[in-house]
Amino acid sequence: MKFYGYNKCGTCRKAQKYLVDKNIAFEDIDITLNPPPKMVLKRAMQAVGMKKLFNTSGVQYKELQIKDQIKTMTEATALNLLASNGRLIKRPIAVASDRVTVGFNEDEYKKVWPAKR
């Protein structure tokens, strides 16, 4: 599993703790330095929708006034923007083979990422 997160993000730390506690191995990738590739972002977008893939509480989201643009933004534009700026992406993104999660919800993690024995 690839885990795109940010070590100063409390939500990311909760998700990592869940994975560690459940013995799920993951590659920790700093989303701000290495945003997920467009292929991963597209899968995440299909899972949660374009708007929910943006970190709407982030400084850069507000500075770039994306809220005003998102209504008319194309998927291609959104993917280009997200792939070029990891601070715009809702985190964490966990991805492995045919599964992907965006953000951290413990109930969703229990379904998508069950504990390893």
Domain ranges in the chain are: 2-112
**Predicted local distance difference test score (pLDDT) of residue 64:** 92
The confidence score (pLDDT) of residue 105 equals 96
Q: What is the C-alpha separation between 102 and 95, in angstroms, rounded?
A: 9
Calculate the alpha carbon distances from 46 to 6, 62, 99 in Å. Answer: 22, 24, 11
Q: Is 9 a catalytic residue?
A: yes
For 46, the token pair is: 């299909």
Residue-wise DSSP of 90-101? -S-EEEETTEEE
Q: What is the pTM of this model?
A: 0.93
Q: What is the pLDDT of residue 115?
A: 85
The per-residue pLDDT for range 51-110, each reduced to its tens digit, is: 999 999 999 999 999 999 998 999 999 999 999 999 999 999 999 988 999 999 999 999
5 bridge partner residues: 30
CATH 3.40.50.1820 correct for 2-112: no
pLDDT of residue 60: 92
User: Which of 9, 47, 48, 96 is an active site residue?
Assistant: 9
CA separation (Å) from 107 to 94, 112, 114, 115?
A: 15, 9, 10, 12
Residue 24: the pLDDT is: 95
Per-residue pLDDT band at 114 (split at 50, 70, 90): very high
Determine the pLDDT at residue 116: 78
